A = this chain, B = another copy of it.
C-alpha cells in the first residue's frame, strides 16, 4: 500500500467527559475531558504514528468547537476543511468501571454539530485528490441523513479514484433514529469499500447471515462477504476476552489472500482506558498495511490495540517504537532511560 499519500477520515468529534479515579458522577466535582469520536481517533492515532491525516467533520461555532479544533491540531491532524455550524458538539459522559463493574456512557449527540454537517459543501474530488486511503465507520451513517449523504459521496468519489477504503461497520442499534435502516445502509457502504475491519458479528448483522464465531465461521463469513461485496479484498477481525473491566485479552485474526492468519494473544491486567481500543486497532492496521505485509500489519494492529488500554483518553498516543517493542515480545515493562 502506498504510504506517502495522505489519509482522510470523516466523522463526528465528541466531547468526552469523565470523573477520574473510577468515581461515580455524583461523587465527582470535576470531569476530565478529551475530544474523541471513532473516525477522529483513528486519524489522530495515524497522525501520531507519522502519517499525514486530514479529518473532515463539523464542529460547533463556539468555544467548544474551537477547543475541538485545537485538540485535533495538537495531534497533527489537518483541520482546514472542518465546518463550523450553529449546533452544539456531541458529547458523552463516561463513568469508568473497574473489575466487574462496567463502564457506563450517557450520550448527548443527537442533532449535534456533525449531524448538521452540510455535505454539499464538501468537495470530495478535491479532498481525495492526493489521498491514498479513506476510513469510515458504521457510526457516521447512523447519525443523520446529512452524515449519510456526505459519507456516500465520499465513498463514490474514493472508488472512482481507486483509493483504499477501510470500513469499520459496527452497528450501534441505539443510533439510526433518522429514518434509514442500518443493515441496508451498511451493506451498501461496505460494497463501496476495499478492506473490512470487523468480524462475524458485523458480517452477520450486515448480510443477515448466522455464521458461527469460531475460526471456521470466520473464514466462511469472510468468503461470503467477499462474494456479496466483491470490492472487499481483506477482512481483519479482533477477538477480545473480557475477564473484567480491568483485565482483558485480545488477539487479531484475518482472512487475506484466501488465507487465515492470527496473532498471539496479548493480556492487559490493569486497564487504564478501554475506550478507543478498537480505533487503535484500526489505526494500527492501516499503518501496518501501508508499511508491512498483512501478517505483520495484523501483529502491529494487535500490539497497538493492547497498548491503547494503557493510555488515558480516546486516542492512542503510542509511537511506532513502542508498538514495535511489544510486537517483539518486550512486554516486561523495563524503564526506557
How many copies of this chain? Answer: 6
Q: A159 at interface (Cβ–Cβ under 8 A)?
A: no
Contacts of A174 in B (CB 8 A): 337
Contacts of A29 in B (CB 8 A): 27-29, 32-33
Q: A257 at interface (Cβ–Cβ under 8 A)?
A: no
Across the interface, A247 reaches (CB within 8 A) one of B243, B269, B313, namely B269
| Bound Cα distance from A105 to B334, whole angstroms | 11
Q: A266 at interface (Cβ–Cβ under 8 A)?
A: yes
Q: A324 at interface (Cβ–Cβ under 8 A)?
A: no
A26, B325: Cβ atoms under 8 Å? no
11 additional contacts (CB under 8 A) given A20-B30, A26-B67, A100-B310: A17-B17, A25-B64, A26-B317, A27-B312, A63-B106, A73-B76, A91-B108, A99-B309, A99-B310, A242-B332, A243-B332
Q: A153 at interface (Cβ–Cβ under 8 A)?
A: no
Known A22-B312, A71-B74, A73-B73; contact A63-B95, beta-carbon cutoff 8 A: yes
> Which A residues between 282 and 337 are near B, CB-CB below 8 angstroms?
306-307, 309-313, 317-318, 322, 325-326, 330-337
A contact residues, total (Cβ < 8 Å): 83
A244, B333: Cβ atoms under 8 Å? yes
Contacts of A243 in B (CB 8 A): 332-333
A27, B317: Cβ atoms under 8 Å? yes
Contacts of A95 in B (CB 8 A): 63
Contacts of A101 in B (CB 8 A): 307, 310-311, 318, 322, 326, 333
Q: A24 at interface (Cβ–Cβ under 8 A)?
A: yes
Q: A103 at interface (Cβ–Cβ under 8 A)?
A: yes
| Bound Cα distance from A241 to B333, whole angstroms | 10
Across the interface, A100 reaches (CB within 8 A) one of B32, B246, B274, B326, namely B326
